Amino acid sequence: AKSEGKNRLAFYSENLTKAAKLRLALDRSIRRALENREFVLHYQPQMSLHDDRPTGVEALVRWKDPTRASLVYPDEFIGEAERTGLVVALGTQVLEMACQQGRAWLDEGLPLHMAVNVSARQLRSPNFIQVVADTLERTGFPAGLLEIEITESTLIGDTEKTLAVLMMLRDLGVSLAVDDFGTGYSSLSYLQRFPLTKLKIDRSFVNQLPDVGAGCAISEAVVKLSHSLGMTVQAEGVETVRQLEALRAMQCEFYQGYYASRPMPPDALRAWVLERGL
Ligand code: C2E
Ligand code: CA
Ligand code: CA
Ligand code: CA
């Protein structure tokens, strides 16, 4: 029994080492990817429910890892980048690319707003506001067209610091959306305290539409909550026309999801918007 225990220990530590080695390799390749500019953005249209036309896009990061055959999706690297702090540098590159692209579309006569995901660690990094202000200035993208998406969990820890950062963003003229709303653990009181402009109903609730049930009740509650607090509301992960109709009946203003379009590379997005009309 004793040697069995020893073997098990050896087995675990070997596995641990393997996991640690894998993580180290991933960290190294994320660093390399940042240096070599291997991250690219795809864009998913954000639609007005009122006329089913695009009002803007959400920038979603992908990794063109030259050692792999296909694009790498954020699930595979955002968590690790968040853990190591590399997500701060990654987020800076994302913001730069998104604003540059947004400016280019604006110059072509396509005034699309640009939603960018910002992780908690990035938002609390020491010069985040400076990075945002510099990026807007350098790219010439109007602050009024930039929307930053944060998750509920960002609003929990260190509320003083978070509040200060969000107020500075608001003062710059940037909009603030709460992503995956309803899946976090925070209390509702912060909705009053922070200068938020939009709630995004999480896909897990939208999924359950139009059946009468918890998902439906929660979606409707989020719509009402947003409106009574003077915010707009957007549903994410809309895949069917029936979900769309249910949301329309609830007076939800915006949606995004495969029903309208999957995220696309910039050229495809541009063609899609031109065909669809603004
Ligand atoms: P998210 O911000 O909630 O983004 C929505 C995700 O849902 C995207 O996955 C999108 O492709 C997917 N999606 C959109 N419509 C539908 C639909 O109708 N059905 C289904 N099943 N899925 C849909 P993606 O691009 O793989 O991104 C995953 C997550 O990675 C994002 O979730 C976000 O949390 C994170 N992420 C993506 N880009 C960035 C970034 O630049 N910075 C940071 N910090 N996180 C990012
Ligand atoms: Ca998002
Ligand atoms: Ca989301
Ligand atoms: Ca999500």
Index of the ligand 1 atom closest to the CA of residue 151: 34
ipTM: 0.98
The mean pLDDT of the chain is: 92
Asked if residue 202 has its Cβ within 6 Å of ligand 1, the reply is no
The answer to pTM > 0.90 is yes
% of the chain residues with pLDDT over 70: 94
Asked if residue 179 has its Cβ within 6 Å of ligand 1, the reply is yes
Index of the ligand 1 atom closest to the CA of residue 180: 3
HEC letters along the chain: CHHHHHHHHHHHHHHHHHHHHHHHHHHHHHHHHHHCCCEEEEEEEEEECCCCEEEEEEEEEEECCCCCCCCECHHHCHHHHHHHCHHHHHHHHHHHHHHHHHHHHHHCCCCCEEEEECCHHHHCCCCHHHHHHHHHHHHCCCHHHEEEEEEHHHHHCCHHHHHHHHHHHHHHCCEEEEEEECCCCCCCCHHHHCCCCEEEECHHHHCCCCCCCHHHHHHHHHHHHHHHCCCEEEECCCCCHHHHHHHHHCCCCEECCCCCCCCECHHHHHHHHHHHCC
Asked if residue 11 has its Cβ within 6 Å of ligand 1, the reply is no
Residue 6's pLDDT band (cuts 50, 70, 90): low
Examine the pLDDT at 3 and tell me if it is beyond 70: no
Asked if residue 94 has its Cβ within 6 Å of ligand 1, the reply is yes
% of the chain residues with pLDDT over 90: 79
Give the pLDDT confidence of 79-126 residue by residue, as tens digits. 999 999 999 999 999 999 999 999 999 999 999 999 999 999 999 999
Residue 8's pLDDT band (cuts 50, 70, 90): low
Give the pLDDT confidence of 21-61 residue by residue, as tens digits. 888 989 999 999 999 999 999 999 999 999 999 999 999 99
Asked if residue 263 has its Cβ within 6 Å of ligand 1, the reply is yes
Give the pLDDT confidence of 152-207 residue by residue, as tens digits. 888 887 788 999 999 999 999 999 999 999 888 767 888 888 999 999 999 999 99
Q: How far is the CA of 78 from the centre of ligand 2 (A)?
A: 13
